[in-house]
Structure 1
Amino acid sequence: MSDAGYDHATVERRWQAAWDEANVYRTPDDVEDPTYVLGMYPYPSGKLHMGHVRNYTITDAYARFRRMQGDEVLHPMGWDAFGLPAENAAKERDTNPRDWTFDCIETMTEQMESMGFGYDWDREITTCTPDYYQWNQWLFSRFHEEDLVERRDAEVNWCPHCETVLADEQVEGEAELCWRCDTPVEQRELEQWFLKITEYADDLLEAIDDLEGWPNSVRQMQRNWIGRQYGAEVDFAIDGHGSVTAFTTRIDTIHGATFFALAPDHPISEVLAEEDDDVRRFVEEEADPDGDEPNGVETGLTATNPVTGEEIPVYVADFVLSDVGTGALMAVPAHDERDHAFAEKNDIEIRPVIAPEPDDGEPEAPDVEDEAFTEDGVLIDAGEYSGLESEIARERLTEDIDSAEEAAQYQLRDWGISRQRYWGTPIPVVHCDDCGPVTVPEADLPVELPEFINTTGNPLDAAEEWKETTCPECGGPAERETDTMDTFVDSSWYFLRYVSPDLEDAPFDMERANDWMPVDQYVGGIEHAVMHLLYSRFFTKVLADHEGLEHREPFTNLLAQGMVQLEGEKMSKSKGNVVSPQRIVEEYGADTARLFMMQAAQPERDFDWSEEGVQSTYAFLERLQGMVEGYVADESDGDDDAIASYVAAEVDATIAIATAEYDDLTFNKALRETQDLVRTLRQYADYTEPHAETYERGLSAVVRLLAPVAPHIAEELHETLGDDGFVAEAEWPTAEIDRDRVEKRRQLVENTREDIRDIVDVAGIEDPTGIEVVVAPDWKYDALEIAIESDADNLIGELMSESHIREQGDAAADYGQDLQAEREALSMTLGPEDEHATLESAAWLIEREFDAPVDVVRAIDADEAALSNAEPGRPAIEIDD
C-alpha cells in the first residue's frame, strides 16, 4: 500500500508475479475430478474488449470461489485462432495470418495477465498450430469412417466480399448479411463437404430436456433450430411423372387441397424447365425464395388427390424448398397463410374443410376470403371424415390412405464445413482422377498449411507446389483439397484438449476426459446458442458413440452473460463508444474494473458502463484498505457486548448469504452483502471502540468474500491482517445460520428504524431525548401463528377458542379482526424473545442515527397503552422530545 492511498499498480503487479512464481492456478494431471470452469475461448483480435473482461471475470471469480471452497479447479485458456478476419487483416497489411494472429495473442495474453485472471497457462491451446489442427483432421477422418461425412453439390451461402461459404447460422437478419462483414449474401452451387449432424437430430433434440443447468432461452433456441415437426408423407400422382411424395403436418386438410406445388430445383421442375420456356424463365430468373411474397408458374400438369380423386393444377413455386420436407407439397389455401397468399395472387380456389369447433349445433365454415383459418377444428365437406376433430382425422387419414406414412421433418440441415479460404484447417483429402476423393492416412497427418500467398480468392488454389501430391491409394498424381474447415470445427471439441494439451498420439487422453468431463460451468455469449453449442453437443455425442467418451453432453451448467453497454447501446468500434479495458486498468486498477462489473448487474443481464460507478468502486476499495490498515495500527480492544454480538451476527449472516449467492453465480448479490458488511463494520468502529476479535473476524470475512472478484487487494489485505499464505488458497469463511431467520431479523431492525423515522418526521421532532421500543406480548405471536396455519372460515372464533387469547378481551377481538383482514399476506416473524434480543443488539444503530438513548422493553415490563400498538415484527414506539 502507498502512503498516498491505494497504489493499485504496485499491488497488482506484485501479486500477479507471486501467483505465477507459486503456480497457484496450475492443475496437476493426477487430480481425480477437478471442478471444470471454462469461458468460451476468444478469437485473438488484438485487444480485449469489455465483453471479454466481463466473461472472463465471471469464470475467474467462480473458479477462485470453488478453489477457496476446497475444490481442485481446472480453469484453462486458449485461442480460437483460425478465421477469415486474420486472413483479411494479413492481406490489408501485406503480412501473413500466422504472424498477425500470434502478435494478437501476445497482446491479449498480456492484457489477461494484467486483469489477474487465474488461468493454468500450462494448458494453453492455439487452434492454428499443427499440433492442434492435426486432430481436427484426425476427427474428420474418423467421422468419414463412420459415414458421417459426405461430399455433394449444394446451393450455398456465398459472401462475395469474404469469398467464402457461410453456414445458414452465419447469415444474419432479413437482409441476409454476412455475419463478419455485413455484405449481402449470394447463393451459389458448389461441391461441398458436409458433416451429417442430421443423423443426430433426434438425439440432440430429446437430450435438451436434460440440460437443466442451461438457460431456458438457449434450450428453446436449439429446439427451434432443430425444428422437428411430425406429420405424414403422402403420394400424389402427377400425369406423366408418376407418384410424387409430399410432406404435410395437416393431412386433415387434404380435402381442401386445390393445387400442388414443386420446388424450383425439384427433379420434375428441372425436366419441365428443359421443355417449357415459362418454367425455365421462372426457375432461372424469377424465383426468389427469400422474397416478400410467394411466386410461381403453372406447369399445365395436374396432380391427383389420393383421397378425393380430384385433379388439381401443378405449379413450380419459390416458396417450396427442396431441402424442407420433400420439395413438394399439397397446397390448402383455406388453412395455410402462405398457400392462401399464392392462391389469391393466382386466382386459385380457396376451399374450407376445417371449421371451428361449435359450442353446440353444426359447425359452420369459417370465412377464409381474407385470411386462412389455421387452427385445428372439425372437418366439414370431407365425405366420411366430416364431423371428426382434426387430431382424430389425421390419425384416420394416415391409416386409410395407402401411400400415407407417419413422418418427421426437421429444419436442421447437415453442417457444411467447406470454406474457400487459407487460414483454417486443411481438409485431409486428396483428389485422384482414378480413385476419387481419398482421405489422407493418419500417418501423414497433419496436412500443414503452405506459406501464405497474398492473392484474391482462395490462396490455397494458388499454392501449386503444395497442391500437387500423390494418391494414398494408387500412388498416382493427385491434388490436395483446397477448402479448409469451418472454424466451428475447432471449437466443437477444444474443451477436451485442455485435459491433455501436450498429448502427441491422440486428440485427448480418454481416461482423463472421462474423469474430468463434462465442464461444470461454461460461460459465454448468447450469440453462440445455436452454432457453437449445438456443434459441441454433436461432436461429444459422436465421440461417445465411436471413441469411448463416457459423456454425451459437454457442459453441465451454462451461463450466457449479458452485454456491457454505453449509454444503452452495445459497445462497438464503428459507433465510437468503446471503453478501453487497458485505460481502466491503468487509471483504476484491474480489481476496480472487475468489482464494478460484477456488482453492476446479474451476469445474465446487460448493463451500462458508468465512469461514476468505476470511481465509486475505486473509492470503496480505498476505504476498505484504510479500515484494515487502521485496525492493524490500533491495538485497543473494546467490550464483547450486545453491539459486538449484533456485528458478529451480521458477519455470520453475510457469510451465509454471500456464499449461497456465489454458488448461484449471482455475484452482484454476494457483493452487495459484502459491501453492506463493510458499512456495518465502519459504523461500528465510528460508534464505539470495537471488540478486536469480532472486528478482525469481520474484516477477514470481507477480504475473503471479495477475493474471487478483487483478488489483488484481497491478497494485500490478507497479508496486512497477518494471515499466512495466499488468500487465493485460503479457506472460504463459514457460518452456520438459518437464512430465513437472518431475513426476519434484518427486516425487523429495518422496519423499526423506518417507523422511528416516520414518527420523527410526522411529529416534527427535531431533537429526540429518548426512544422506547416495546415488543408485543406473547399471546399476539400465538394468535399470528394460529392465523397463518388455520383454514377456518371464522378465524376470530378459532382464536377465541384459546383461553389465553380469549382472556385478552377486546384487545384480542381487535387484533383478530386485523389478522382476518390481512390473512392472505401474513407471515411468521421471530418469537418475542428473539425480537427483544435482536432489537436490543441493534439499538446502537438507532442511537447512532438519532443521537438519543434507546430502551428496548419486553411486554411484561411495558404499560398497557404501549402494548396495544405493539405487534409481532412491528414493535410499539414511544419517542420523548
Structure 2
Amino acid sequence: MSDAGYDHATVERRWQEAWDEADVYRTPDDVEDPTYVLGMYPYPSGKLHMGHVRNYTITDAYARYRRMRGDDVLHPMGWDAFGLPAENAAKERDTNPRDWTIDCIETMTGQMESMGFGYDWDREITTCTPDYYQWNQWLFSRFHEEGLVERRDAEVNWCPHCETVLADEQVEGEAELCWRCDTPVEQRELEQWFLKITEYADELLEDIDDLEGWPNSVRQMQRNWIGRQEGTELEFGIEGYGDVEAFTTRVDTIHGATFFALAPDHPISEELAEDNADVRRFIEEEADPDGDEPNGVETGLTATNPVTGDEIPVYVADFVLSDVGTGALMAVPGHDERDHAFAEKHDIDIVPVIAPEPEGDEEPTAPDVAEGAYTEDGVLINAGEYDGLDSETARERLTEDIDSAEWTEQYQLRDWGISRQRYWGTPIPVIHCDDCGPVMVPEEDLPVELPEFINTTGNPLDAAEEWKQTTCPDCGGDATRETDTMDTFVDSSWYFLRYVSPGLDEAPFDLEQANDWMPVDQYVGGIEHAVMHLLYSRFFTKVLADHEGLEHREPFTNLLAQGMVQLEGEKMSKSKGNVVSPQRIVEEYGADTARLFMMQAAQPERDFDWSEEGVKSTYAFLDRLKGMVETYVADEPDGDDDAIASYVDAEIDATVAIASDEYDDLTFNKALRETQDLVRTLRQYAEYTEPHAETYERGLSAVVRLLSPVAPHLTEELYETLGNDGFVAEAAWPTAEVDRDYVAKRRQLVENTREDIRDIVEVAGIEDPTAIDVVIAPDWKYDALEIAIESDADNLIGELMQNSEIREQGDAAADYGQDLQAEREALSMTLEPAAEHAALESAAWLIEREFDAPVRVVRADEAADDVLANAEPGRPAIEIDD
C-alpha cells in the first residue's frame, strides 16, 4: 500500500471475491448472439509483463463497457501452452515441459485475477492438454482428406540453436534471425508436412478489402506477404540448357532486355558452380540478397530473346530470388532501377524502349536513362512493329504473339510448413509404414498423446522408442509414428472457436453455436502477429467454412493492434534491465491505478512511456474521487438548482455522451480525459458553493460508471457508497443526447474567454480585479462571419457591404471585413449570440472562482461602444476593473 491513500488491497480483494461468488462474468450457453471480445491468449512464460497488462486491460474495459450497455458478453481466456521455450526451460531445469507450463499458468492466472480481469474462467482452454490438441490432430486429418496437406522434400529454414524448422514468417529482419532466439537461420533440405495455404491465396488477398475494422497497416502487411503479381511467363533459350522460364510483370519492355539473370540457387547456377570457379565463389562467398546493391557474376552463357532474337549475356545475380517468380528473369536496365544499378556496375547496355505518353500528335521522346531507369508505363519505342503501342496493349499483344508466353499470376506466399523437430507440441497424427507409406491415425485412436519427456539433444520424440514403435492401421504391420510435432500457430489458428464450447467431446466446436457467436467482434493483440497468427486464422476459418459448415469466412470483425509499453523510450525487456513488475505496481498502488494509468496515457494503438510519477498521480486521483463521494454522502448538501447547477448538468450530459462515443471507438484515453475533467468540475463546484444534491449525485454516479470499465474495484466500492444495490459491473451505462459540435463550441468559448482574462490580468499587472465584464459581439458581426464562411467571392468586403445592416456599420464593418478576409481560410462558425450569452452566463462562476471578482456577461445592446468594438463572435470583449 502507498504511504497515504485508500486501502486498495482490501477493496480489490473484496470485490474480486464478490464477482467470483456471483458469477458476474460467466456467459451462459443459451444466449443467442453475445458480443465476443477477445485478447490474443498468452504464452505462459511464468509472469505477466506490462504488455500483457495493457492488452488485457483493453479487452476487459471494452467487455465491461459492452456488458453495461446491455450486451451478453463473451470474454474468455486461455493459454498458448505449447512451444520451444518451455521445452528449453525444462531441459535447463531437468524437469518436464508439462510441469513447467502448468506452474507458469497457475502463477499467471493468479496475476490476472489480481488485476480484476473479468474472464469467464469456465471457458478456459490450455492447448497442451490432450482434450485440446486431439482436435488439432482431427483438423489435420480433415485437411488431409480435403487435399490440403502435403509431405515433400523442401529447403527449409533451420534454427541451429532451437534445432527446429521455422516458417518463413518466423525468420525476422534482413539478417534472417530466428524469431525466438535471434540466431542466424540456416537452409536445410528436409522432408516436411505442409498445409496448402496457397490454395486460398486469392481469397485471402481479395477479402482483405472487406476487413474494414482492421488497421490499414495490418491489411497492407498481409497484402504484401501474399504478394500477388500478375505478369507473363515466357522462355529464353540458353545453349546447352534448353528453354528457361522467366517471369516478368513488364513484358512490354522486352525489346530493352540487355542481360538475363539467374538466382544463385537456380539449378543452372548450381550446375555451373561445379565447374566454374568464379560462379562457385560468388554463390558461396559473395552473394548477399539483403545487401544494399545488386551483385553478380557473368557465366559466359548467352540467352536468346524470344522477340528480337538477340543474344544477351547470362549472369548469376543475388537480387534474383528462387522463391519469387521462377528464379530467372529478363533484365531491362532502362526501365527497372535494380537492373539499372546492376548494368552500370557491369558495363551492360541500357536501352530505353518505353517513352512517356506524348501530347497530341507529337512523336514520343525517348527518356534519358543514363542516370536512372524510367519505370512508368508509356508508349513503346525502339520496338519494331510494336512501336507506338501503349504499355498495357503491348503487354497483351506480346503475350499473345510470343509462342512460349502465358499470362499468369505469381505469389510470394508459400505453403505453410508446420513440421517442428521438437517434443512440446501436437504430435502429427501420421504412422509411417514401409509398405503403405504415410497413413493417417484413425479418428477413434485420437488423441495421439505425447510420451514422457526425455531430456536429450535433438528431438526427444526420436528417443521415445516405445512410443514411436507401433503398427500400421491399414496393414497391421510394424510401423513408426511421425516424430515431428505441429507448429504452435496451428493451435492459435482456431482456438477462438473452442471457447464457444470448450468442454465438447464430440467435435472441436459446437457448429450451431459457433455460427451464432462468431465472428469475434473485437480482437486485440500485437501487430507482430499480422502475417503469422492472423493470416493462418483467416486460412483455417475459410477451410472450416468450406468443409465443416462454418457460416463465417473471416474470424475477426474488428482488430486493434495495441502499442508497446516503454521505459524512457525503449521497449521493456529483461535483457535491458528496464522491466517494471506489474505485481509491484499492484501491491504498491493497486490494480485500478495500473489499469487507469495505462489506459489514460495514450491511445491503445500507440506506444507510451511508463512513468512512476504518472502512476502516483493516478493513484492520487482515485483517492480524491473516493474522498469526494464519501464527503457527499456524509454532508448531504442542499444547494440551489441554479445557473451553476445548470452548467454542471450540461457538463455531465456532455461527458456521458462524449465518453460513450470514445468507448465505442476504443479511444479510452479520450473517454477517461473527459471523465477526469468532469471530476475536476464537480470538485470546483463543491469548493465554490454548496452543490445541488441531485446534480452533484448525478455527476458522481456518472463518473463512477464511466470509470468502472477501467477501474472496476474502487468504482464498485463507490457505487455501493452512493447507496446502490448490486454491482456497478452490471449497472446500466449512463446515457445522454447532446450535440457534440455545440458542446465543443461552448467549451472553446468558455476556455478562450478565461484565457483572454488571464492574459489581460497578466499584461496589465492587475493584482486584484474588482469586477469583470464579458461583452458579447453585436449581431451584425455574426452575420458577417457567416457570409465570410459561405462566400467564395474574391472581394469579400464588397459582398459584405451588400448586406444593409452590415453596411450601416461604416468603418467598423470595413475593418471587421478586412480581419475576416485575412483569416478566411481558418474561419469557423461559433454559437449564435443568444447561445453564446447563455453559455458564458452559466460558466461565469468559474471565472469568479478563479479571479475572486464578480462577473457580468453583457449583451451587445447594453455595452459601451468603445468596449463593444473589440467583441467578436466566439471572442467576447473583456473589461476589467481594478
TM-score bucket of the superposed structures, by smaller chain: over 0.9
2:76 partner letter: P
Q: Which residue of 1 aligns with 2:289?
A: 290
Instruction: Report the CA distance between 1:235 and its aligned residue.
Output: 1.8
1:386 partner letter: D
Q: Partner of 2:41: helix, strand, or coil?
A: coil
Q: Partner of 1:869: helix, strand, or coil?
A: coil
Residues 793-832 of structure 1: matches in 2 within 5 Å? 793-832=794-833
Mapped to 2, the partners of 1:441 and 1:270 lie a distance apart of 43
Q: Which residue of 2 aligns with 1:330?
A: 330
Q: Which residue of 2 aligns with 1:303?
A: 303
1:170 aligns with 2:170: yes
Deviations 1:508-557 (A, max 9, x none): 11111111111111111111111111111111111111111111111111
Instruction: Report the CA distance between 1:775 and its aligned residue.
Output: 1.7
Instruction: Report the CA distance between 1:598 and its aligned residue.
Output: 0.5
1:774 partner letter: V
1:57 partner letter: T
CA, structure 1 residues 368+742, in 2 after alignment: closer, same or farther (shift >3 Å)? Answer: closer
Instruction: Report the CA distance between 1:687 and its aligned residue.
Output: 0.6
1:200 aligns with 2:200: yes
Q: Which residue of 1 aligns with 2:139?
A: 139
Q: Which residue of 2 aligns with 1:88?
A: 88
Instruction: Report the CA distance between 1:379 and its aligned residue.
Output: 3.1
Q: Which residue of 2 aligns with 1:786?
A: 787
Mapped to 1, the partners of 2:479 and 2:25 lie a distance apart of 49
Instruction: Report the CA distance between 1:444 and its aligned residue.
Output: 1.1
Instruction: Report the CA distance between 1:865 and its aligned residue.
Output: 2.8
Instruction: Report the CA distance between 1:312 and its aligned residue.
Output: 3.1
CA, structure 1 residues 637+420, in 2 after alignment: closer, same or farther (shift >3 Å)? Answer: same
Q: Which residue of 2 aligns with 1:105?
A: 105
Gap regions ≥5 residues in structure 1: none
What is the aligned residue count?
880
Instruction: Report the CA distance between 1:66 and its aligned residue.
Output: 0.6
1:698 partner letter: G
Instruction: Report the CA distance between 1:241 and its aligned residue.
Output: 4.1
Mapped to 1, the partners of 2:301 and 2:388 lie a distance apart of 33
Mapped to 2, the partners of 1:534 and 1:351 lie a distance apart of 42
Instruction: Report the CA distance between 1:262 and its aligned residue.
Output: 3.5
Residues 509-658 of structure 1: matches in 2 within 5 Å? 509-658=510-659
The answer to whether the 8 A contact 1:37-1:522 is kept is: yes
Mapped to 2, the partners of 1:283 and 1:794 lie a distance apart of 72
**Greater shift after overlay, 846-855 or 857-866?**
857-866
Mapped to 2, the partners of 1:206 and 1:778 lie a distance apart of 56
CA, structure 1 residues 482+279, in 2 after alignment: closer, same or farther (shift >3 Å)? Answer: farther
2:231 partner letter: G
1:506 aligns with 2:504: no
Q: Partner of 1:139: helix, strand, or coil?
A: helix
The answer to whether the 8 A contact 2:175-2:184 is kept is: yes
Q: Which residue of 1 aligns with 2:860?
A: 859
Mapped to 2, the partners of 1:270 and 1:611 lie a distance apart of 59
Percent identity among equivalent residues? 88
**Greater shift after overlay, 859-868 or 426-435?**
859-868
1:694 partner letter: T
**Greater shift after overlay, 725-734 or 789-798?**
789-798
Instruction: Report the CA distance between 1:239 and its aligned residue.
Output: 3.4
Q: Partner of 2:869: helix, strand, or coil?
A: helix
CA, structure 1 residues 283+492, in 2 after alignment: closer, same or farther (shift >3 Å)? Answer: farther
Instruction: Report the CA distance between 1:301 and its aligned residue.
Output: 4.6
Q: Which residue of 2 aligns with 1:245?
A: 245
Instruction: Report the CA distance between 1:477 and its aligned residue.
Output: 1.1
Deviations 1:73-100 (A, max 9, x none): 1110000000000000000000000000
The answer to whether the 8 A contact 2:521-2:556 is kept is: yes
The answer to whether the 8 A contact 2:157-2:185 is kept is: yes
Instruction: Report the CA distance between 1:807 and its aligned residue.
Output: 3.9
Q: Partner of 1:574: helix, strand, or coil?
A: coil
Q: Partner of 1:36: helix, strand, or coil?
A: strand
Q: Which residue of 2 aligns with 1:738?
A: 739
1:157 aligns with 2:183: no
Mapped to 2, the partners of 1:866 and 1:510 lie a distance apart of 75
Q: Partner of 2:45: helix, strand, or coil?
A: coil
Mapped to 1, the partners of 2:705 and 2:2 lie a distance apart of 22
CA, structure 1 residues 836+335, in 2 after alignment: closer, same or farther (shift >3 Å)? Answer: closer
CA, structure 1 residues 657+242, in 2 after alignment: closer, same or farther (shift >3 Å)? Answer: same
**Greater shift after overlay, 758-767 or 418-427?**
758-767
Mapped to 2, the partners of 1:685 and 1:296 lie a distance apart of 78
Q: Which residue of 1 aligns with 2:6?
A: 6
Q: Partner of 1:753: helix, strand, or coil?
A: helix
1:469 aligns with 2:470: yes
**Greater shift after overlay, 285-294 or 526-535?**
285-294
Q: Partner of 1:448: helix, strand, or coil?
A: coil
The answer to whether the 8 A contact 2:563-2:604 is kept is: yes
Mapped to 1, the partners of 2:414 and 2:201 lie a distance apart of 9
Deviations 1:735-786 (A, max 9, x none): 1111111111111111111111111112211111111112223333233223
The answer to whether the 8 A contact 1:432-1:478 is kept is: yes
1:776 partner letter: A
Q: Which residue of 2 aligns with 1:770?
A: 771
CA, structure 1 residues 782+365, in 2 after alignment: closer, same or farther (shift >3 Å)? Answer: closer
Deviations 1:818-876 (A, max 9, x none): 33333332222212221121111111111111111111122233233332222221222
Mapped to 1, the partners of 2:563 and 2:290 lie a distance apart of 34
**Greater shift after overlay, 405-414 or 619-628?**
405-414
1:154 partner letter: A
**Greater shift after overlay, 392-401 or 414-423?**
392-401
Gap regions ≥5 residues in structure 2: none
Mapped to 1, the partners of 2:372 and 2:855 lie a distance apart of 74
CA, structure 1 residues 472+297, in 2 after alignment: closer, same or farther (shift >3 Å)? Answer: farther
1:532 partner letter: H
Instruction: Report the CA distance between 1:724 and its aligned residue.
Output: 1.2
Q: Which residue of 1 aligns with 2:752?
A: 751
The answer to whether the 8 A contact 1:521-1:556 is kept is: yes
Mapped to 2, the partners of 1:748 and 1:699 lie a distance apart of 25
The answer to whether the 8 A contact 1:90-1:100 is kept is: yes
The answer to whether the 8 A contact 1:35-1:74 is kept is: yes
Q: Partner of 2:633: helix, strand, or coil?
A: helix
**Greater shift after overlay, 817-826 or 579-588?**
817-826
Deviations 1:456-480 (A, max 9, x none): 0000000111111111111111111
Instruction: Report the CA distance between 1:328 and its aligned residue.
Output: 2.4
CA, structure 1 residues 295+826, in 2 after alignment: closer, same or farther (shift >3 Å)? Answer: closer
**Greater shift after overlay, 44-53 or 816-825?**
816-825
Instruction: Report the CA distance between 1:373 and its aligned residue.
Output: 4.3
Q: Partner of 2:432: helix, strand, or coil?
A: strand
1:225 aligns with 2:230: no
The answer to whether the 8 A contact 2:39-2:524 is kept is: yes
Q: Partner of 2:713: helix, strand, or coil?
A: helix
CA, structure 1 residues 790+371, in 2 after alignment: closer, same or farther (shift >3 Å)? Answer: closer
Deviations 1:460-507 (A, max 9, x none): 000111111111111111111111111111111111111111111111
The answer to whether the 8 A contact 1:76-1:119 is kept is: yes
1:404 aligns with 2:405: yes
Mapped to 1, the partners of 2:754 and 2:728 lie a distance apart of 37
1:354 aligns with 2:348: no
Instruction: Report the CA distance between 1:14 and its aligned residue.
Output: 0.3
Q: Which residue of 2 aligns with 1:680?
A: 681
The answer to whether the 8 A contact 2:287-2:296 is kept is: no
**Greater shift after overlay, 368-377 or 559-568?**
368-377
Deviations 1:401-444 (A, max 9, x none): 22212111111111111110000011111111111111111111
TM-score when normalising by structure 1: 0.96
Instruction: Report the CA distance between 1:361 and its aligned residue.
Output: 6.1
1:7 partner letter: D
Q: Which residue of 2 aligns with 1:659?
A: 660
Mapped to 2, the partners of 1:608 and 1:71 lie a distance apart of 34
Q: Which residue of 1 aligns with 2:875?
A: 874
Mapped to 2, the partners of 1:300 and 1:783 lie a distance apart of 81
Q: Which residue of 2 aligns with 1:130?
A: 130
Instruction: Report the CA distance between 1:2 and its aligned residue.
Output: 12
The answer to whether the 8 A contact 2:279-2:297 is kept is: no
2:252 partner letter: D
Q: Which residue of 2 aligns with 1:255?
A: 255
